[in-house]
């Protein structure tokens, strides 16, 4: 099963070199174990471009200025269960530090990889 994990740090500041090294090590170990598919960063959602379709009318709100601040991270992982995904997220957050995370199941048509 694939899961999208998101993370928003409690303190909005760049990580220290030591924290970056620890996060890099965690990522390498997860990739080697076959769990990690990809990672990335997201700009603050309120600073992105919002799309809306209602009653056949499509609107675009944004993009907003100052989108250079990357504050949220994500990882796409593949594990056997939601419990295992939560464990991976818990281990990641232990390395990353205080913040808020979310684990979302990825719908795969046909249930295959």
- Tens-digit pLDDT profile for residues 32-44: 999 999 998 876 6
- The number of residues making up the chain comes to 113
Topology annotation, domain 2-42+69-107: Alpha-Beta Plaits (3.30.70)
In sequence order, the β-bridge partners of residue 74 are 6, 40
- Whether the CB-CB separation of 71 and 9 falls below 8 Å is answered with yes
Averaged confidence pLDDT in the chain: 85
> Taking the domains of the chain in order of start, what are their residue ranges?
2-42+69-107
pTM exceeds 0.85: no
Q: According to the model, what pLDDT value does residue 108 have?
A: 85
pLDDT at 73: 86
What gap in Å lies between CA 76 and CA 107, rounded to an integer? 12
pLDDT at 75: 94
């Amino acid at each position: 099963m694939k899961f999208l994990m998101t993370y928003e740090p409690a303190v909005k500041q760049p990580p220290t070199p030591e924290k970056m090294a620890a996060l890099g090590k965690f990522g390498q170990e997860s990739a080697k174990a076959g769990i990690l598919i990809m990672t990335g960063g997201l700009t603050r959602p309120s600073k992105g471009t919002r799309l809306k379709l209602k009653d056949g009318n499509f609107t675009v709100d944004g993009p907003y200025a100052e989108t250079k601040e990357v504050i949220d991270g994500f990882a796409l992982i593949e594990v056997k269960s939601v419990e295992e995904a939560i464990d991976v997220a818990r281990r990641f957050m232990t390395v990353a530090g205080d913040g808020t995370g979310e684990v979302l199941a990825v719908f795969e048509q046909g249930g295959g990889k």
